[in-house]
């Protein structure tokens, strides 16, 4: 994805090099030497296309379950690190992703942090997440929020492992130097936040096309923190029947904050799309690098010059401004998330149809 520099670098000379050395001693530098790198003509993402096979990662998660307890690890997570960005713990330049597992009978400690987090549930029978005093049972395909600076914990009273894909805005928060984290006050590591609300309370108050009388949002994130896959899937089916298909995206919807109509969190947007059997999408590219998880089906995505074959529960990443097109061998549903809300607020987001 290399592009030529818009700002040409001037010729150098012995006299100029000596001058630059003296500038360096004063902790200064000539902008004209680096302007093309600082302001490239097009995005130059550090991240590259990559795919993680879920069955391979699941085996490694189960191995982690034998090697370390949830209490020792705080959160038993395998980071999905982009192979083009070794040592960064990141999947793209702006978001983090990992696969988290909670074994039967385990709970995780209650804590909160400035970073916003999402969970896309891959395996769960009776697993739950608790946010701000309310527990929600998680089912495969559910999209679950843990907004910035809200206490949360997880548990698994069932008989099988619970696994989900984590997505966090860690690099955005760290870019501004604004990371904070703390445990629930007055609790030992084994204790959890008290459950103060009935399960489904947030959904009843905010998720039924109704809001409490004279409701005024107290935070930027959505007051609903579990978006049911069953309901979202039904919506995709109905829209597919109603038509038409988008040439690039099939049937694609974005998760919304019901109180504002905006994105569920200010820094991370999430999307769900249906690709019918035999769908061959047109190519497009956008400035928000996207992390995908395959909720259903099997297919292929061409990302730049790379072709990735994916199947259920696999995770793959499309870097910023890489041409991408999707094909479905069978009816498929793709979940994805990106930093699109932050880009849009800053007036930076761009998308265009391309030949791929």
Question: Domain holding 267: CATH number?
Answer: 2.60.120.10
| The pair of three-digit structure tokens given for residue 295, joined into one six-digit string | 């909720």
- Residue 269 falls within a domain, yes or no? yes
Q: Are residues 65 and 202 in the same domain?
A: yes
Co-location of 237 and 198 in the same domain: no
Give a yes or no: residue 125 inside a domain.
yes
Is 246 part of a structural domain of the chain?
A: yes
**Do residues 186 and 256 share a domain?**
no
**CB neighbours of residue 93 within 10 Å:** 19
Tell me, yes or no, whether 44 lies in a domain.
no
How far are the Cα atoms of 205, 214, 281, 283, 289 from residue 202, in angstroms, in the given order? 5, 16, 37, 39, 30
User: What confidence score (pLDDT) does residue 190 get?
Assistant: 67
Q: Are residues 332 and 261 in the same domain?
A: yes
Per-residue pLDDT of the chain (356 residues; tens, 9 = 90+): 555 567 889 999 999 999 999 999 999 999 999 999 999 999 999 999 999 999 999 999 999 999 999 889 999 999 999 999 999 999 999 999 999 999 999 999 999 999 999 999 999 999 999 999 999 999 999 999 999 999 999 999 999 999 999 999 999 999 999 999 999 997 666 679 999 999 999 999 999 999 999 999 999 999 999 999 999 999 999 999 999 999 999 999 999 999 999 999 999 999 999 999 999 999 999 999 999 999 999 999 999 999 999 999 999 999 999 999 999 999 999 999 999 999 999 999 999 999 86
| Whole-angstrom distance, CA of residue 188 vs CA of residue 53 | 37
Looking at the structure, tell me whether residues 249 and 200 fall in a common domain.
no
Residue at which a domain ends, from 177, 206, 235:
206
Task: Answer yes or no: is 42 within a domain.
Answer: no
Residue-level pLDDT at 4: 53
Q: Tell me, what's the pLDDT at 355?
A: 82
Rama region for 194: left / alpha / beta (φ>0; ψ in -120 to 50; rest): beta
Judgement on whether residues 196 and 327 belong to the same structural domain of the protein: no
Number of domains comprising the chain: 2
277 part of a folded domain: yes
- Sort strands 128-131 and 298-303 into parallel, antiparallel or unpaired: unpaired
User: Domain range spanning residue 100?
Assistant: 50-206
- What pLDDT was estimated at residue 7? 84
Residues pairing with 327 in the sheet: 280, 300
The answer on 70 and 199 residing in a single domain is yes
Residue 37 falls inside a structural domain? no
Task: Tell me: do 111 and 189 sit in the same domain.
Answer: yes
Taking the CB of residue 116, how many other CB atoms lie within 10 A of it? 24
| Residues 282, 138 share a domain | no
Q: Are residues 192 and 107 in the same domain?
A: yes
- pLDDT of amino acid 70: 87
Side by side, the strands of the sheet bearing 128-131 are 134-137, 128-131, 152-155, 111-113, 181-183
Asked if 134 and 239 sit in the same domain, the reply is no
Calpha distance 115→173 (Å, rounded): 6
Q: What is the pLDDT of residue 253?
A: 98
**Contact between 219 and 147 (Cβ < 8 Å):** yes
Domain end position, chosen among 206, 234, 265: 206
Which residues have CB under 8 Å from 8's CB, separation 6+?
A: 36
Residue 34's pLDDT is what?
94
Select from 145, 171, 206 the last residue of a domain. Answer: 206
Beta strand spans in 103-241 (E): 111-113, 117-123, 128-131, 134-137, 143-146, 152-155, 162-168, 181-183, 226-227
CB-CB neighbours of 100 under 10 Å: 21
Q: Are residues 182 and 236 in the same domain?
A: no
Nearest to 352 by CA among 43, 40, 54: 43
Question: Is 43 among the domain residues?
Answer: no
| Contact yes or no for 334/291 (Cβ under 8 A) | no
* pLDDT in the model for residue 71: 86
């Amino acid at each position: 994805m290399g592009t030529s520099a818009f700002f040409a670098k001037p010729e150098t000379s012995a006299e100029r090099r000596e001058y630059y050395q003296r500038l360096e001693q004063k902790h200064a530098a000539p902008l004209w030497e680096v302007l093309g790198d600082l302001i490239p003509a097009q995005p130059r993402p550090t991240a590259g296309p990559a795919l993680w096979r879920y069955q391979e990662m699941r085996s490694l998660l189960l191995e982690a379950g034998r090697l370390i307890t949830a209490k020792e690890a705080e959160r038993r997570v395998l980071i999905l690190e982009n192979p083009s960005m070794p040592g960064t713990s990141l999947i793209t330049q702006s978001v983090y992703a990992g696969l988290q597992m909670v074994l039967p009978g385990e709970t995780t400690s209650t804590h909160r942090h400035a970073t916003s987090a999402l969970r896309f549930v891959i395996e769960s029978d009776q697993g739950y997440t608790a946010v701000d005093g309310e527990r929600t049972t998680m089912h495969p395909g559910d999209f679950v929020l843990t907004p910035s600076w809200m206490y949360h914990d997880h548990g698994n009273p069932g008989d099988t492992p619970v696994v989900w894909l984590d997505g966090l805005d860690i690099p955005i928060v760290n870019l501004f130097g604004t990371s904070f984290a703390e445990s629930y006050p007055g609790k030992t590591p084994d204790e959890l936040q008290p459950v103060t609300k009935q399960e489904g309370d947030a959904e009843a108050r905010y998720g039924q096309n109704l809001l409490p009388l004279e409701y005024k949002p107290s935070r930027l994130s959505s007051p609903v923190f579990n978006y049911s896959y069953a309901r979202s899937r039904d919506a995709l089916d109905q829209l597919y029947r109603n038509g038409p298909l988008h040439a690039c995206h099939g049937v694609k919807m974005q998760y919304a904050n019901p109180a504002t109509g905006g994105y569920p969190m200010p820094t991370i947007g999430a999307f769900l799309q249906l690709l019918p059997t035999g769908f061959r999408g047109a190519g497009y590219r956008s400035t928000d690098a996207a992390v995908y998880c395959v909720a259903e089906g099997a297919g292929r995505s061409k990302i730049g010059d790379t072709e990735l074959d994916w199947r259920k529960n696999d995770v793959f990443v499309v870097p910023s401004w890489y041409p991408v097109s999707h094909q479905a061998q069978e009816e498929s549903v793709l979940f994805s998330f990106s930093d699109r809300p932050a880009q849009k607020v800053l007036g930076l987001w761009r998308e265009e149809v391309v030949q791929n």
